[in-house]
Every structure is written in structure tokens, then in C-alpha cells.
Amino acid sequence: MKRSNDPSRKGLAIVLLSAVAAICGCSGSGSSATGGTSAVAAGQMTSGGSNGSGNGETGTYTVSATVTGLTGQGLVLELNGGQDQAVSADGTVTFPSALTTGAPYTVTVSSQPAARREICGVTNGFGTIGQASVTNVAIDCSIVVGFLYQITFSNQLFSFGLSAGTGVPVPFGTPLATGTNPLALVTSPGGNFLYLGIPFYADGQGPGSISVYAVNPDTGILTAVSTVITSGLTLTRMVMSPGGGFLFVLGTPAPISVSGASLLTTYVVDPTTGALTPTGTPVTLDVGWAPTLAVTPDGKFLYVMTGNFGSSTPFSITVTSYAIDPATGTLTAGPALTWINSNVNAGASAAMAIDPSGRFLYLSSEQGDTVQAAATVLPYAINADTGALTPIGSGTPVTSEAGGMTVDPSGRYLYVLNSLNSDAANDTVLALAIDQSSGVVSPLGSPLEIAGRPGPMICDPSGRFVYVGTAGPPASSVAAFAISTAASTAGQLVPSGQSGTPGEPMGLAVVE
């Protein structure tokens, strides 16, 4: 059976889910339970007992951690929320108080090093004391090149550092609790602020909201600065204008509906504080479900896709161009592109992407059924004066449902997700080359299988990596893929590593 990777559909369909999962083994913050901090230098071990018969009887054992790659000062480790250990150099750290057999243990980072962008992550950081001391906890420290943020269906916001060279996400800090079923996550240009959208539900859980967080450029730590209530609106999508002056928010009036009208609201963004102020009159869209938004790199046009995607009969899909007033953010409807979706058994893809030059817009048209991955990627030329879309050729067939698409910052490659889920081979990402003259795309190699059902996908601003949030089985994670620069495989993706998260990914954002 096909499972949609559209996060807004899941958020609107499951209105009572609010499962908060606990993350273990990641670096985190916490207050000391011992009231003191002891310094540990390279190789120095603190006192601790190790006692047991080894024949199944209860004993007491210590927990040690090995620190590598540390360059800065200020690293503090904790065991079970206490026993603070300040670490000044690489070496082995043993927590002073022993634990009994059967006791749980969790090693976390309560304070990161003071060096700019140095992040220390924990591996094998949790478990249960057995019949021996724990010696396999690893604290790996490195200077990261940026930060990645992820929201999950378990109502949490996670922070990661991006490893230099590999781009692998390294978790740090304590996950932040969000409202119920967060759906949207965007950053301001330059990465000073992060915006998190929560939908409105008609079951007494309160109105939706947009939370604003300041991003510390040195540590990646998020600080909540303000919140805007989207009264009576089931927020589903957000997109930031490239200049950062406006945030466009899409939703439907409460109660939840996929057949009524949608509202498109513009917020003015304060460049100093990140605060949001609604402006103008919301634009009313005739069709309730608008699965995606895209804005041109010059900030002149906003494209909105609409259609009754819950229909069991053929229905029309429309992409409308809205001119953006550069002074006020006012939206003026312009040319629209409409076609009929007749593939109702498989549902309709709802992917849209614009290349960084603003010349081409890409749409996906799903052609397969519930067990076959097949779609067409349709390129359109964007009229720089009117925003009108003109088809380029007949499109490129791909072995994918093309439920998600993103263009790399160079504008040379388009990446397409398949999440059909009839078997593991249908969880893939496919690279396509973009012809720089015509805009036509062509596949690069074969689809790359992903471990888990892919959801959100994003390119990092440097154009070196692609990140995909995946849902289990086998486990939820953020997977990193390097964009190949080798002549024979340029543009293809190479798996770089991944970091697990206890919840289905719903949105990603990158700051560098």
C-alpha cells in the first residue's frame, strides 16, 4: 500500500497524536545533581568502585567515556543528570560514583566547548549496567561547518552540527518541545532566525502558531524570542522570501478541511528581532488543499499549487503565480497553469521546485499506481516579467513517484524522492542533470535506495550535501548524502552517514 510522504496530510489526518519520545545517547543539557564539578585532564581517572562476583549476582560498576578530537575548553559531561565532569583534553573520563547491576545509565554533554562551532557528540551513551564496568561510551568532538534542525511527529525540535568533510549530522543540546504535530520549518536568509509552524486543531488543543527562535552562529543553540498565534488557521506550509522581508503562510480555516477554502497570509519579518507582523488581507484560495509553495530567487513571484487531492475522481491541479509587492508584501494573482489529474488510484504528486537562477520551475506528475513507481518531471520556463509558465518539451519520465523535489544551489542538479513503500526498493532518491540552456532534465545513474521511508529533503547552502529525513522501519533518521564532484559521477549522491532520531521527520532546515 502506498504511504504518502506529504507531512501536511499526516499532520491534518492524525489530530489526536501527541507522543513525546525521549532521546537518549545524544548530547544534552542538565543541572548537576552533585552540586560540584571535578576537572578531568587527559587520561586521568577519578575514583570509583568495581565490585561483583561475575556469576549473575548484583555488583557495582563504573561508567567511563573516551573523549577524542577536543580542542576547546569548557566541555562538561554528566552521568544520569549529575556527577559533572569537566574535561580539558582528550582521554578517558570515569564518573566517580559506581552504579549497581540493572541500573540505567545515560551520559550526556551538559556544556559544549567554548571554541566556535566545536560540537561534542555522544556514541553508546545509554544502557543498563550489567556485570562489568561500562567502557565503550565515546565522546567525539569536531569543528562543524553548520547546523541542521529537524522537527518530528513526536513533537520535538532537534539540533545537529554538520561534520566538516562528510556533512554527517552530529546531535547536540536538549531537544526542544514543540506544539502538537509541527509541520513547517524555515530559516531567514543568513540563518539568524528559525521559524517553526504549528497547525490549528478543532479538538480543543488551541490555535496554531509560528514560533521564532534566534540561532547562535557560534554554538547553534536556539533561543525562543517570540510567538505569533495564527488564530483559526490550520497552518500547513510556510516559505520565506529570499530577501527575508516576508514570510508567506498557508493554511485552511478551522475546522480542518481539504475541500473548502485556503488562506494565504503575509507576515512582515523584523530583520533585527525576527518578529512577525501580519500585513494586508489574506488571499483566499478556492480549493482547500494547497500542498506546496515556491518563491523565485529574486523575490518577485510566489507560486501556489492547489487541488482537491483527497478526491476519488479526476480533478484539476492549478499552479498560480502571485506577484509580490517588494515594499508591502502584497500578493497579486497573475497567470495560472491548470491540468487535470486523472490518476486518482495512485493519488497526485505535489512537488514543485525552482532553480536558483529563477529561469525554470519543475513540477511532478505521478503516472504509476499503488505498486509501481512512475512519474514525469515537467520543466517550465518562468517569464521574468509576468511570472507566466511555459512548458518546455514533454517532460522526463522517471522511476519514482516524484513526491518531493529540490534543486542544488548551483542549479545544475534536481533531486527527486520516491516514497511509494510497496517494498524497500521504492524508498529512493534520484539525481537528474539540468540542461543549463533548455532546463530539460535527464537522469544521472540509477535511483539510490534509502534506509527508511523518505520525507523532507533539503540541500545545504554550500551545495555539497543533500539531507533526507527518513521514517522507520528500520529507524527514523537524518541521512546525509555528498554531491559527487568527480567527472564520471558529477551530481550523483554518495551516502555519507546518518543520525537517528526518535520520531518521524516532518521538516528540515540548514544554517551555515
SS (H, E, C) 227-274: EEEECCEEEEEEEECCCCCEEEEEEEECCCCCCCCEEEEEEEECCCCC
- Whole-number average pLDDT of the chain: 83
**How far is the first Cα of the chain from the last one, in angstroms, to the nearest whole number?**
39
Reported as a pLDDT band with limits 50, 70 and 90, residue 144 is: very high
Q: What is the pLDDT of residue 353?
A: 95
- The Cα–Cα gap between 405 and 287 comes to 23
Residue 442, SS3 per DSSP: strand
Question: Is-cis flag, bond preceding 271, omega within 30?
Answer: no
- Pairwise pLDDT comparison (405 vs 253), residue with the higher score: 405
pLDDT band at residue 183, thresholds of 50, 70 and 90?
Answer: confident
What is the structure's pLDDT at 19? 31
Q: What is the pLDDT of residue 511?
A: 95
Provide the pLDDT confidence category of residue 333 given band limits of 50, 70 and 90.
very high
Domain boundaries, the chain: 18-174, 180-345
pLDDT of 47 > 50? The answer is: no
Q: Is 11 in a helix, a strand, or coil?
A: helix
Nearest to 222 by CA among 245, 193, 181, 201: 193
- What mean pLDDT is predicted for residues 73-82? 95
Please report which helix (H) or strand (E) contains residue 356, including its range. none
Whether the predicted pLDDT of 302 surpasses 80: yes
> Which grid cell is 154?
513526536
Q: What is the mean pLDDT of residues 373-389?
A: 92
Q: Determine the pLDDT at residue 401.
A: 83
Ordered DSSP codes for 382-412 = EPTTT--EEE-TT-EEESS---EEEE-TTSS
Q: Are 115 and 105 in contact (CB under 8 A)?
A: no
- Per-residue pLDDT band at 203 (split at 50, 70, 90): low
Taking the CB of residue 117, how many other CB atoms lie within 10 A of it? 21
Specify the range with the lowest mean pLDDT, choosing from 43-47, 122-126, 188-192, 195-199: 43-47
Residue recorded with cell 534506509: 451
Task: Concatenate the DSSP letters of all residues of 43-110 into one string.
Answer: T-------B--SSS---EE-EEEEEES--SS-EEEEETTEEEEEE-SSEEEE-SS-EETT-EEEEEEE
Which amino acid, 341?
A: N
pLDDT class of 367 with cuts at 50, 70, 90: low
Note the pLDDT tens digit of each residue in 303-331: 998 876 655 666 678 899 999 999 999 99
What per-residue confidence (pLDDT) applies to 345?
45
Residue 470, all three cell numbers: 527518513
The confidence band for 476, taking pLDDT boundaries of 50, 70 and 90, is confident
Q: Name every residue whose Cβ is closer than 8 Å to that of residue 138 and which is 6 or more positions away in sequence.
A: 65, 66, 68, 122, 123, 124
Tell me what the mean pLDDT of segment 152-168 comes to.
92
Could you write out the DSSP letters of every residue in 457-479? EEE-TTSSEEEEEEE-SS--EEE
pLDDT tier, 26 (very low <50, low <70, confident <90, very high otherwise):
very low
Instruction: Among 18-32, 91-105, 378-392, 418-432, name the one with the lowest average pLDDT.
Output: 18-32
The continuous run of DSSP H or E covering 225 comes out as strand 222-230
How much is the average pLDDT of 405-409?
Answer: 95
Average confidence (pLDDT) over 162-171: 92
Is pLDDT at 93 greater than 70 in this prediction? yes
Helix (H) or strand (E) holding 138: strand 134-152
Which cell goes with 316?
484539476
Average pLDDT on 343-371 reads: 75
Banded pLDDT at 5 (limits 50, 70, 90): very low
Q: What is the pLDDT of residue 25?
A: 35
User: Which cell numbers hold the place of 482?
Assistant: 555528498
Given a cut of 80, whether residue 190 has pLDDT beyond it is yes
CA distance 223 to 239: 21
Confidence bin at 349 (pLDDT 50/70/90): low
Q: Could you tell me which residues are beta bridge partners of residue 149?
A: 159, 509
Is residue 291 reached through a cis peptide bond, with omega within 30 degrees of 0 on the bond before it?
Answer: no
Highest mean pLDDT among 68-77, 222-231, 305-314, 452-461: 68-77
Cα 367 from Cα 311, distance rounded (Å): 16
Over range 110-128, report the average pLDDT: 93
Peptide bond into 278 cis (omega under 30): no
The confidence band for 20, taking pLDDT boundaries of 50, 70 and 90, is very low
Of residues 214, 167, 202, the one with CA closest to residue 497:
167
215: pLDDT strictly greater than 80: yes
DSSP string, 172-196: EEEEEE-SSS--EEEE-TTSSEEEE
d(CA 251, CA 208): 10
Q: How far is CA 66 from the centre of its chain?
A: 30
Average pLDDT over residues 467-479: 86
Q: What are the pLDDT digits (tens) for 419-432?
A: 876 676 778 999 99
> How far, in Å, CA of 76 to CA of 64, rounded?
14
Q: Which range among 179-193, 360-374, 375-389 shows the weakest confidence by mean pLDDT?
A: 360-374
Closest of 424, 429, 375 to residue 406, by C-alpha: 429
Which of 98-107, 233-242, 279-288, 343-352 has the highest mean predicted lDDT (pLDDT)? Answer: 98-107
For the domain spanning 180-345, the CATH number is: 2.130.10.10
- CA dist 167 and 144 (Å) reads 8
Percent of the chain residues past pLDDT 90, beyond the cut: 58
Alpha carbon distance 342, 317 (integer Å)? 10
Tens digits of residue pLDDT in 432-459: 999 999 999 999 999 998 888 888 999 9
Question: Going by C-beta distance under 8 Å and a sequence separation of 6 or more, which residues neighbour residue 347?
Answer: 2, 4, 309, 366
Give the range among 27-31, 193-197, 350-354 with minimum mean pLDDT: 27-31
Residue 41 has a pLDDT of 40
User: What is the C-alpha R_g of the chain?
Assistant: 24
Bigger pLDDT: 367 vs 489: 489
> Among the ranges 158-162, 450-454, 473-477, which has the highest mean pLDDT value?
158-162
